[in-house]
Structure 1
Amino acid sequence: MPERTHATQQDEALRQCRDDDIRATARLLLTRLATYLTRTRPADTMIEASRKYLARNYAVTHARWDTQYADALEAALLAAMPHPRPQQTRGEYAIVIRPTGSSR
């Protein structure tokens, strides 16, 4: 039997659904992250290590045991979360990452 090298229409449709789900879930998690940063030590400085930790923690917690899904969520979160500016507070960073009504 020949090896399949191209995705079927069904495979492509499933991939697109999963991508849409990841984007929608990332928006939800960004809202939760922004709320957390606003309520927990908002005057503290936001650092890069916190950005990476929070993205991983929220992705893994949401995805539970599905590590591929967690990795994809983490990547989507990090893509949507800019690097913190020097001396930027957690509260200020929350304003930057909170999704708006428009689609990202």
Structure 2
Amino acid sequence: MYLPKVLLLIYVVDSADHARLPMAKQLLHQLIQNNTTLPVVVLANKQDLEGAYRITDIHDALALSDIGDERKMFLIGTHVADDGSEISSSMKDAKELIAQLVLEAQ
């Protein structure tokens, strides 16, 4: 209902929750199936946890290669400090990318 009105889709997955990645893949593909040009930013969160899938594993698990060549698609590994005191460089990069994509879409 709301997707036709958005400028980009930010999709966050838990890199350490292997069991839920198939559902995350299914939902992501359902969300974007009717809009082939909607930019997508996937944040692979919790990259700092032991056992977290690497970025290449997340890319494969979500079948991001199947999303298409017509859209801008980004996959960024992220994590937040345990005490919340610092913002990781990956989160800063994600923020800058999202701001740039929104500006381009307007």
Bigger RCO of structures 1 and 2 (CA < 8 A, at least 6 apart): 1
TM-score (ref. length: structure 2): 0.26
More strand, by proportion: 2
Which structure: larger Rg? 1
